[in-house]
Amino acid sequence: MTHIKLFSPGPIEVSEKTMRAFSRPMIGHRSKDFQTLNAAIQPGLQELFFTKQPVFVSTSSAWGVMEGALRNLVSKKVLCCMSGAFSDKWFDVAKKCGKQADALQVEWGQPILPEAIEAKLATGEFDAITLIHNETSTGTMNPLTEIAAVMKKFPDVMFIVDCVSSFSGMKIPFDELGIDVMLAGTQKALALPAGAAVFTVSEKAYAKAATIKDRGYYFDFLEFKKNQESDMTPTTPSISHFYALQSKLEDIAAEGLENRYARHLENAKVTRAWVKERGFAFFPKEGYESITLTCVANNKGIDVAKLNSLLKTKHSCVIDGGYGKIKGTSFRISHMGDESTENIKQLLGWIDGCIAEL
Ligand SMILES: Cc1ncc(COP(=O)(O)O)c(C=O)c1O
């Protein structure tokens, strides 16, 4: 099968080094070797989350932890901040879990503003909010620091944040921001195979979870915490993901966090400059563009499906032709993970060449 390099915003390209680690022989999950492996990745994960709390690897995609956070932490009513496909769906998931939920809906591409959250929380109706930091469907990044400042006025409201597609591409300091649950998927900026998620939980959230009886088993945060105390997991995990994470954390340490963040920002800047120079528009409102991917409004009406098929046949790579209700009227270019700025410039050159042939 031809290797098609993915410049769509997750899953993304996984390096050969990571794949080698991912395909190491199995070890027993109740063995000393597993405990050693799990303990070995803790410091690197805590550094990425900027936390002293234990960090967990969940053998589920991000949605498992997103649903789990609702089941562990919502007893009254959750405010779902909605601005795109994934954040809109979180509201539906809350209702499917039998939770009382209210929507703070803005138009796709618009940011969630702290004032709007404050006005809703001031009603006293809510004990949790869900926020997607980087709405991957629209390439819009919400002002997390400003929102976190507002959340500090409501210490009893659980602050659940999906950093699925921003995590490790920029600094998101969990402890300092006062987040209660923060999660990310492995298939985005971490550039690992899909199928696992990483997350951490605040002391406040553990205390809240302890008051909730029907939080289930598979995603019970207290089970994760108890097992992690002996470097174990509640159930048989995807051991391959632990090996791949270990390899990736080595890569991140070798590059240095600041260099990693600077590279992601530079990749975004180069892509944004290309968008402007070619006369395209951004889908997100100006000032709220994502750092890890760029969502381009297809204001020039190019045939995105044809562009992608040319990219595939000529350069063995693909971008993304738009997600959900903005498929075709937008397209997305991922510049996260292991991509160098040179790679991104090369990709943009290939896109130019293919557009000329449309
Ligand atoms: C921001 C965001 N949240 C949640 C998800 C859901 O992730 P998964 O399908 O891996 O559970 C995605 C997937 O792309 C996403 O981009």
Q: In which element (H, E) is residue 199 found?
A: strand 197-201
Q: Which amino acid is at 95?
A: K
Q: In which element (H, E) is residue 259 found?
A: helix 257-277
- DSSP per-residue letters across 37-97: HHHHHHHHHHHHHT-SS-EEEESS-HHHHHHHHHHHH-SS-EEEEESSHHHHHHHHHHHHT
Quote the CA–CA distance of 290 and 274 in Å, as a whole number. 15
Give me ligand 1 centre to Cα 358, in Å: 31
Quote the CA–CA distance of 140 and 111 in Å, as a whole number. 7
Quote the CA–CA distance of 265 and 131 in Å, as a whole number. 22
Q: Which amino acid is at 355?
A: I
Contact at 8 Å (CB) between 116 and 110? no
* 129-150: pLDDT as tens digits: 999 999 999 999 999 999 999 9
3-state secondary structure of 102: strand
Q: Is the pLDDT of residue 1 over 90?
A: no
Contact at 8 Å (CB) between 322 and 304? yes
Quote the CA–CA distance of 165 and 174 in Å, as a whole number. 15
Strand partners, 198: 57, 184
* 40-54: pLDDT as tens digits: 999 999 999 999 999
Strand partners, 132: 162
CA nearest to 179, candidates 149, 138, 141, 140: 149
CB count, 10 Å around CB of 199? 28
Counting atoms of ligand 1 from 1, which one is nearest the CA of 62? 11
- DSSP per-residue letters across 153-184: T-TTSEEEEE-TTTBTTB---HHHHT-SEEEE
pLDDT of 55 reads 98
Q: Is the pLDDT of residue 115 over 90?
A: yes
Quote the CA–CA distance of 280 and 302 in Å, as a whole number. 10
∠ Cα 245 6 23 (to 5°) = 35
Question: What φ, ψ does residue 289 adopt, rounded to 5°?
Answer: -75, 140
Quote the CA–CA distance of 101 and 86 in Å, as a whole number. 16
CA dihedral of 201, 204, 207, 211, whole degrees rounded to 10: -100
85 CB within 6 A, ligand 1? no
pLDDT of 101 reads 98
Percent of the chain with pLDDT over 90: 99
Q: Is the pLDDT of residue 261 over 90?
A: yes
Quote the CA–CA distance of 105 and 122 in Å, as a whole number. 17
Give me ligand 1 centre to Cα 87, in Å: 9
pLDDT of 227 reads 98
Average pLDDT over residues 189-202: 98
Q: Is the pLDDT of residue 11 over 90?
A: yes
Structural domains of the chain sorted by starting position, each given as residue range(s) with its CATH number in brackets: 5-12+256-356 (3.90.1150.10), 16-253 (3.40.640.10)
- State how beta strands 128-132 and 78-82 pair: parallel
Tell me whether the omega of the peptide bond preceding residue 54 falls within 30 degrees of 0, making it cis: no
195 CB within 6 A, ligand 1? no
Give me ligand 1 centre to Cα 2, in Å: 26
Contact at 8 Å (CB) between 161 and 181? yes
Mutate to test the pocket of ligand 1, among 12, 63, 138 (most ligand atoms within 8 A of CB): 63
pLDDT of 164 reads 98
132 CB within 6 A, ligand 1? yes
* 284-311: pLDDT as tens digits: 999 999 999 999 999 999 999 999 999 9
Q: Which two tokens stand for residue 241?
A: 């993901």
pTM: 0.98
Average pLDDT of the residues of the chain: 98
